[in-house]
Amino acid sequence: MSEPILSARDVVIKFSLRGQTLTAVRGASLDLYEGESVAIVGESGSGKSVFTKSWIGMLDANGWVDSGSILFEGKDLAKFKTEEEWLTIRGKKIAMVFQDPMTALNPLRTIGSQIQETLELHQGLRGQEAKRRTIEILAQVGISEPEMRYRQYPHEFSGGMRQRVVIAIAIACNPRILICDEPTTSLDVTIQAQILELIRKLQKELKVTLVYITHDLGVVANVADRVAVMYAGEIIEYGTVEEIFYDPRHPYTWALLSSLPQLGIKGQPLYSIRGTPPNLFNEIRGDPFAPRNPQALKIDFVKSPPFFQVSPTHYAKTWLLDPRAPKVEPPEIVKAMRAKYERYAV
């Protein structure tokens, strides 16, 4: 592969909360390549949003990038301090779509003006020209009668339609990277599929690099070329979709796959991961998943594993890949997955 367009290295993100410090992201690394589509998956609270928000300088006021680097267009975004610096990136080069479209739009301003605002901001379009372009974009995200819709207010739109508007705002300025943070989580299932379809279509049309965040592995195969699995603020395994689904190596990925309802084996109870993620206020020693892993090794509790290479595109952060480790079989469900997956992905 060529040079990554964005390269996040060992990013550590902390928050101060009531006089205590909480580490939400502990050394996450990820490379993005031009035009690809990467899914970041993990339980909620694993730091997916925080990690990606740090790329556009949108951490909450009590949070900061403590160490690590985020290289983009020759600049280290982790070193950005002022709002002026971020305004050259945010919305213009890297755009983000958030989870809840019902509250994402200003209820008191027309749909048109909220999209047009972005165009005026980044592309210097004005007046009729900006309006014409706005209507074009509305049509592009699949909104019928865009001229009429242009003048309407958010409350006249359904949830799915609002998410289309939010996506329209995000793509209005042809960003290089589009981050979709659980864009379908709060929508009905049928609408979810439509929005997913739209995102895929736009990614192909605009050749934008897509980062798709979800806690639902089920949708990943539909949007992504590559998958990164996140747990307790670390990326613990990444590879192509096939590698993660056919040949997962980290026990957490196994657990995640086993809990997928679509992949469950008939007659067997649905698997769910026991316990809760670690308390982020505490220092974590060793592998953060160890306390919840019935097959954890003793070393998991003392020393954090490095990344082991499985293939040139597939890496996993688990001691199980160490030559000294005992052989541990993945769960039945994961083994049975291969056949199922072939039918499922089509």
Ligand X SMILES: Nc1ncnc2c1ncn2[C@@H]1O[C@H](COP(=O)(O)OP(=O)(O)O)[C@@H](O)[C@H]1O
- For the bound state, the minimum distance from the C-beta of residue 73 to other proteins, rounded and expressed in Å, comes to 15
Instruction: State the binding partner of 104 from Mg ion, other proteins, ligand X, none, CB within 5 to 8 A by kind.
Output: other proteins
- For the bound state, the minimum distance from the C-beta of residue 145 to ligand X, rounded and expressed in Å, comes to 35
The correct pick among 319, 330, 333, 334 for binding other proteins (CB under 8 A) is 319
Q: What is the DSSP string of 131-165?
A: HHHHHHHHHHTT-SSHHHHHT--GGGS-HHHHHHH
> How far is the C-alpha of 329 from the C-alpha of 72, rounded, in Å?
40
Binding of residue 214 to Mg ion (CB under 5 A): no
- Count how many Cα atoms sit within 13 Å of the Cα of residue 127 in the half-sphere of its side chain: 1
Q: Which span sits near other proteins by CB under 8 A: 66-74, 165-173, 217-225, 255-263?
A: 165-173
Instruction: State the binding partner of 42 from other proteins, ligand X, Mg ion, none, CB within 5 to 8 A by kind.
Output: ligand X
- For the bound state, the minimum distance from the C-beta of residue 242 to ligand X, rounded and expressed in Å, comes to 24
> How far is the C-alpha of 338 from the C-alpha of 319, rounded, in Å?
24
Site string (38-57) toward Mg ion, x via CB under 5 A: -----------x--------
Cβ atoms of 149 and 108 within 8 Å: the answer is no
Helix (H, G, I), strand (E, B) or coil at 193: helix
- In the block, residue with structure tokens 């556009």: 56
- Starting at the edge strand that comes first in sequence, how are the strands of the sheet with 20-33 ordered? 20-33, 4-17, 63-72, 75-76
Q: Which residues pair with 237 in a beta bridge?
A: 229, 316
Instruction: State the binding partner of 90 from ligand X, Mg ion, other proteins, none, CB within 5 to 8 A by kind.
Output: other proteins
Binding site for Mg ion (CB under 5 A): 49
Binding site for other proteins (CB under 8 A): 17-18, 56, 58, 83, 86-87, 89-92, 95-96, 98, 100, 103-109, 117-118, 121-122, 152-153, 155-158, 166, 169-170, 274-279, 285, 290-303, 319, 322, 324-326
